[in-house]
Chains A and B, each alone.
Chain A
């Protein structure tokens, strides 16, 4: 296990060093987060007070949790596919495929830094959100950490499957963004699901992000109700257990296909 952690850490270090060599993007990202929070702070003043959403402060707290988790969702679903595509185009995929490491480790390596960065961004979002009104929260740490961890696992599974499409077809780099946007829309990241028509709520019930968001809010925000947290976490965890091996299998088959067609080294 130590060896696997070493490999994942080495990939994370590599991606951090590459990201740090373009360090201006860190500052731009922080400014972007501030703007996004400011927009929702003002929007909350417009729509607060209704039966569905509560007071302006309640809506702002609701949406801050949504922003943080969708940030993690975007990172975890897109990282493996983006790095697979980058390695294809830059010419490093073939030599990585020749390394004596399991496919799951390669996929985790591709995802490690982007997910860590998204979690740090989430913390930064909290820090920026507090003076803007993200107050009176009552974190329940065990379910909160469990929600985040299980959510990351489910999102990674989606990301690994997207990477399989990229490796097999040499395209599909935009697929994770499309999936993340769809899940964000359907899962009540920025508005409560109660505004959906009944048929759309049924579809929302199929999204693991719906349960992840509900569990995270229940373990963070006052008045969200913590009764269903275990149920929601069980669904998120069950999805992870089901989807992770499937997605690794997809990536394994995609790499085998690339070895057969000779496309590991071409783009």
Chain B
């Protein structure tokens, strides 16, 4: 009964996909209001970037959309599904990469980590190898995929976390500081990965500190300050071109 009621496989992209939306979103920690009536609309199939200083509440926003943190007030929806009421439906649509390299199983290889999360994400066994090969190729992990995570560098782990988020080809990617800890080659690779996701019609929400490179690839750009968002898309070359 519980198995059937709470399960939903990853859902494919579709023309009617509604994107991400937050309305009057509020969340506090220990009396400190981190998100204060935040409003956000990330259009389907586009790359939205939220920039902000450390502690601005960027990861909190991402955690709410990933359903691992509930808001105090307001609503957040993914494809029209509420993150609190319809958690299973939301989880079936998002792949999440939070800044936490300890979220990997360090005594396993990168490939074994990806294999586990492909299974938990609902990728059928017959498709698992092809999904793994795709993300390993896209994020240039071929040489290190069979090494234990404990033996990888911080930048390599960061790319592995991104690969894990994308392994089920979810229609939504939630990425927390995807360029963190990367060298220039790694940054270029991840930017190519983001561009490829965009071409596929994946809805991507990235949160990051004030990083110039992300501004250049974003379709929409916001700055998170004092719990609210300010649209700064005018400073983004790609957004301006739209």
- Asked if residues B112 and A245 are in contact (CB atoms below 8 Å), the reply is no
- The answer to whether the Cβ of A90 comes within 8 Å of any Cβ in the partner chain is yes
Given known A94-B98, A95-B96, contact A102–B6 (CB-CB < 8 A): yes
CA distance A94 to B108 in the complex (A): 18
Q: Could you say which residues of chain A place their CB within 8 Å of the CB of B121?
A: 99-100
CA distance A96 to B120 in the complex (A): 8
Write out, one digit per residue, whether chain B residues 131-146 have a CB within 8 A of any chain A CB (1) or not (0).
Answer: 0000000000000000
Q: Could you say which residues of chain B place their CB within 8 Å of the CB of A234?
A: none
Write out, one digit per residue, whether chain A residues 9-37 have a CB within 8 A of any chain B CB (1) or not (0).
Answer: 11101100110010000000000000000
Q: Could you say which residues of chain B place their CB within 8 Å of the CB of A264?
A: 68-69
- The answer to whether the Cβ of B228 comes within 8 Å of any Cβ in the partner chain is no
- The answer to whether the Cβ of A53 comes within 8 Å of any Cβ in the partner chain is no
Q: Could you say which residues of chain A place their CB within 8 Å of the CB of B122?
A: 3, 100-101
- Asked if residues B2 and A245 are in contact (CB atoms below 8 Å), the reply is yes
- Asked if residues B103 and A95 are in contact (CB atoms below 8 Å), the reply is yes
The contact of B88 among A11, A94, A100, A104, by CB within 8 Å, is A100
CA distance A34 to B225 in the complex (A): 64
Residue of B nearest to A248 (CB): B2
Q: Could you say which residues of chain B place their CB within 8 Å of the CB of A91?
A: 100, 102-103
Write out, one digit per residue, whether chain B residues 98-114 have a CB within 8 A of any chain A CB (1) or not (0).
Answer: 10101111111000100
- The answer to whether the Cβ of B1 comes within 8 Å of any Cβ in the partner chain is yes
Q: Could you say which residues of chain A place their CB within 8 Å of the CB of B70?
A: 256, 259-260
- The answer to whether the Cβ of B92 comes within 8 Å of any Cβ in the partner chain is yes
- The answer to whether the Cβ of A98 comes within 8 Å of any Cβ in the partner chain is yes
- The answer to whether the Cβ of B40 comes within 8 Å of any Cβ in the partner chain is no
- Asked if residues B119 and A262 are in contact (CB atoms below 8 Å), the reply is no
- Asked if residues B108 and A98 are in contact (CB atoms below 8 Å), the reply is no
Distance in Å: Cβ of B86 to nearest Cβ of chain A:
12
- Asked if residues A18 and B66 are in contact (CB atoms below 8 Å), the reply is no
Distance in Å: Cβ of B219 to nearest Cβ of chain A:
24
- The answer to whether the Cβ of B7 comes within 8 Å of any Cβ in the partner chain is yes
A-B contact count (CB 8 A): 113
- Asked if residues A262 and B69 are in contact (CB atoms below 8 Å), the reply is yes
Q: Could you say which residues of chain B place their CB within 8 Å of the CB of A98?
A: 66-68, 91, 94, 96
CA distance A17 to B113 in the complex (A): 11
- The answer to whether the Cβ of B80 comes within 8 Å of any Cβ in the partner chain is no
- The answer to whether the Cβ of B5 comes within 8 Å of any Cβ in the partner chain is yes
Residues of chain A in range 194-225 having any CB-CB distance to chain B below 8 Å: none
Distance in Å: Cβ of B25 to nearest Cβ of chain A:
14
- Asked if residues A18 and B105 are in contact (CB atoms below 8 Å), the reply is yes
Write out, one digit per residue, whether chain B residues 193-228 have a CB within 8 A of any chain A CB (1) or not (0).
Answer: 000000000000000000000000000000000000
- Asked if residues B29 and A105 are in contact (CB atoms below 8 Å), the reply is no
- Asked if residues B91 and A100 are in contact (CB atoms below 8 Å), the reply is yes
- Asked if residues B9 and A105 are in contact (CB atoms below 8 Å), the reply is no
- Asked if residues A6 and B125 are in contact (CB atoms below 8 Å), the reply is yes
- The answer to whether the Cβ of A97 comes within 8 Å of any Cβ in the partner chain is yes
Distance in Å: Cβ of A260 to nearest Cβ of chain B:
5
Interface hub of A6, A11, A96, A101 (most chain B Cβ within 10 A): A101
- Asked if residues B68 and A102 are in contact (CB atoms below 8 Å), the reply is no
Given known A3-B122, A18-B105, contact A103–B6 (CB-CB < 8 A): yes
- Asked if residues B103 and A21 are in contact (CB atoms below 8 Å), the reply is no
Residues of chain B in range 1-32 having any CB-CB distance to chain A below 8 Å: 1-10, 29
- Asked if residues A99 and B7 are in contact (CB atoms below 8 Å), the reply is no
- The answer to whether the Cβ of B154 comes within 8 Å of any Cβ in the partner chain is no
Given known A3-B9, A14-B112, contact A104–B3 (CB-CB < 8 A): yes
- Asked if residues B7 and A17 are in contact (CB atoms below 8 Å), the reply is no
- The answer to whether the Cβ of B116 comes within 8 Å of any Cβ in the partner chain is yes
- The answer to whether the Cβ of B58 comes within 8 Å of any Cβ in the partner chain is no
- The answer to whether the Cβ of B115 comes within 8 Å of any Cβ in the partner chain is yes
- Top 10 closest pairs, chain A to chain B, by CB: A91-B102, A102-B6, A10-B119, A100-B91, A99-B120, A100-B92, A104-B2, A95-B103, A98-B66, A102-B7
State the B residues within 8 Å of A (CB): 1-10, 29, 63, 66-70, 88, 91-92, 94, 96, 98, 100, 102-108, 112, 115-117, 119-122, 124-125, 164
29 interchain pairs, CB-CB under 8 A = A3-B124, A6-B119, A6-B124, A6-B125, A7-B120, A10-B119, A13-B116, A14-B116, A18-B105, A21-B107, A90-B105, A90-B106, A92-B103, A92-B105, A94-B63, A95-B117, A98-B67, A98-B68, A98-B91, A100-B120, A100-B121, A102-B4, A102-B5, A104-B3, A259-B69, A262-B69, A264-B68, A265-B63, A265-B68
Beyond contacts A10-B119, A18-B107: 17 other A-B pairs, Cβ-Cβ < 8 A, are: A4-B7, A7-B119, A11-B116, A13-B112, A14-B112, A90-B106, A92-B102, A95-B103, A95-B117, A100-B7, A100-B8, A100-B10, A102-B6, A103-B6, A105-B7, A259-B67, A265-B98
